[in-house]
Amino acid sequence: MNLLWSKGDNPDSRVRDFTVGRDRELDMLLAGCDIEGSIAHINMISTVGLLTEDEAQILVEELEKMALEVKEGFFELESDVEDIHSQVEINLTKRVGELGKKIHSGRSRNDQVLVDIKLFLKQEIKKILGEVDNLFDTLISLSEKHKDVLMPGYTHSQIAMPSSFGLWLGGYAETLSDDLWLLLSAWNIADQNPLGSAAGYGSSFPLNREMTTSLLGFGGMHYNSVAAQMSRGKCEKSLSFALSSIASTLNKIASDSILFMNGNYAFISFPDEVTTGSSIMPHKKNPDVWELIRGYSNRLQSLPNEISLLTTNLTHGYHRDYQLLKEILFPSIKTALSIIEMSDFMLNKMIVNREILEDSKYDYLFTVEEVNRRVISGMPFRDAYREVGNEVNKGTFKAEKRIAHTHEGSIGNLCNSEIIVKFKSIVSMFSS
């Protein structure tokens, strides 16, 4: 295997295979980011005398060609090359000769990997933000569309008080705002340039780290070289908390949808083409999509624990343990994007039952409404509560199926406009 760090001897093949693991497979996701980081590094070291302007131009032009190959799917990680970082440098050396070997001056593979990961995570966070934004818009739109359709609300899984589809769907929309705060935190931690920290202790070359920060579009930098290296694991963990939070929201949407499309509830339904059938029961319409969203969401909620355990008890500086973070996080990002998109897809297919409360079993939903009406008429609350309770026990309670909710965030005043402002203001905090 072609090992850039080799000093002439080669490791045992079993050690080599074990230490490389899945790195080569997952590294392909970092190819574009590695080239982007290398271009910025080359432009910077040409200003401090490590490359001439002509040399930098030659190298940058070849790397830009390589970046196009990555976008078009022609870039390959050769079987005898250890990782993507090695492949980029090897390709460059093949194309421009010995000049290609100069690109590593002033950096270590440690800060090279770090900048690749931060650029990749920023790219993926923007994708997640876009999918969450789409889901939010769908929830708000459906909340407005069905705001006048009443449905039962539950506490302790028991019929409790009137709710509405507008309240239910709008609640999930606003909850996504909380999830975005965690995603924004992950963005801010990733949005710091580690390039120039080298192996964690800086470099004797006169590097211009402000320049690479600007060229790579970072909002700032990790100033202290040790701090830059200690951000490995922190970035991944912060994103894992955001993904876990989004997953907990999707889990509840899925669980509600599975329950509400159950024949015993029949609050919602879905077209045949988005449900599955039974091999022996012809009437079945199974919520397999929602069940898988629920299952994947539960798996994603284990991410923070898995990453925390992996990075616990590691002293400062680089450790090979960090390599495993990619195996944990990168597939999880792909899963998260998939289930956010599928939740949006399914909600757009949802059919709402507008006649739910015609069923007499929901009459007791309105006991609180009746208590409140009697209180407004002058009766003390405890007396009104006891009086309505006695009518329920005797079977004489008659429900007036009407509501009079006006306060902010209630059935009659959803505050969806305010929720939109809240959500979109958080979205605007993600810098480009």
Q: What is the pTM of this model?
A: 0.91
Q: How confident is the model at residue 333 (pLDDT cuts 50, 70, 90)?
A: very high
Lowest mean pLDDT among 129-143, 251-265, 267-281: 267-281
Name the more confident of 370 and 135: 135
Task: Return the amino acid letter for 184.
Answer: L
Tens digits of per-residue pLDDT, 377-410?
999 999 999 999 999 999 999 878 888 888 999 9
How does DSSP classify residue 8? S
Q: How confident is the model at residue 127 (pLDDT cuts 50, 70, 90)?
A: very high
What pLDDT score does 9 carry?
A: 62
Q: Identical fold at 13-105 and 110-193+223-357+408-427?
A: no
Phi, psi of 254 (to 5 degrees): -65, -45
What pLDDT score does 83 carry?
A: 87
What pLDDT score does 400 carry?
A: 81
- 110-193+223-357+408-427 maps to which CATH number? 1.20.200.10
Q: How confident is the model at residue 21 (pLDDT cuts 50, 70, 90)?
A: low
In the predicted model, what is the mean pLDDT of residues 304-331? 93
Interhelix angle for 288-300 vs 323-347, to 10°? 150
For the cut 60, the answer to whether the pLDDT of residue 24 exceeds it is: yes
What contacts 193, CB < 8 A, 6 or more positions away?
Answer: 115, 118, 209, 212, 213, 216, 218, 220, 221, 222
What pLDDT score does 68 carry?
A: 97
- 13-105 maps to which CATH number? 1.10.275.10
For the cut 60, the answer to whether the pLDDT of residue 347 exceeds it is: yes
- Quote the Cα angle for 110-111-112, to 5°: 90
CA distances from 411 to 66, 166, 361 (A): 56, 7, 21
Q: Which of 250, 243, 246 is nearest to 330 (CA)?
A: 243
The three-class DSSP label of residue 227 is helix
Enumerate long-range contacts of 429-432, CB under 8 Å, 24 or more apart: 429/184, 430/125, 430/126, 430/129, 430/184, 430/187, 431/191, 431/219, 432/217
Q: How confident is the model at residue 25 (pLDDT cuts 50, 70, 90)?
A: confident
Tens digits of per-residue pLDDT, 71-109?
999 999 888 888 899 899 999 999 999 999 999 999 999
Burial of 375: CB neighbours in 10 Å, binned 0-12, 13-18, 19+:
middle
Interhelix angle for 109-145 vs 416-427, to 10°? 170
What pLDDT score does 363 carry?
A: 87
Asked whether 297 and 251 are in contact (CB, 8 A), the reply is yes
Lowest mean pLDDT among 41-45, 157-161, 249-253: 157-161
Q: Compute the Cα dihedral for 162, 167, 172, 176 and give only its sign.
A: negative
Q: How confident is the model at residue 6 (pLDDT cuts 50, 70, 90)?
A: low
- Beta bridge partners, 192, equal 220
DSSP 76-96: ---TTB--HHHHHHHHHHHHH
Cα–Cα distance, 241 to 184 (Å, whole number)? 11
Cα–Cα distance, 420 to 407 (Å, whole number)? 18
How does DSSP classify residue 276? B
Q: Compute the Cα dihedral for 233, 238, 239, 241 and give only its sign.
A: positive
Lowest mean pLDDT among 17-31, 54-68, 217-231, 397-411: 17-31
What residue has token string 């009659």?
Answer: 412
Q: What are the extents of the domains in the chain?
A: 13-105, 110-193+223-357+408-427, 359-394
The three-class DSSP label of residue 218 is coil
In the predicted model, what is the mean pLDDT of residues 170-198? 97
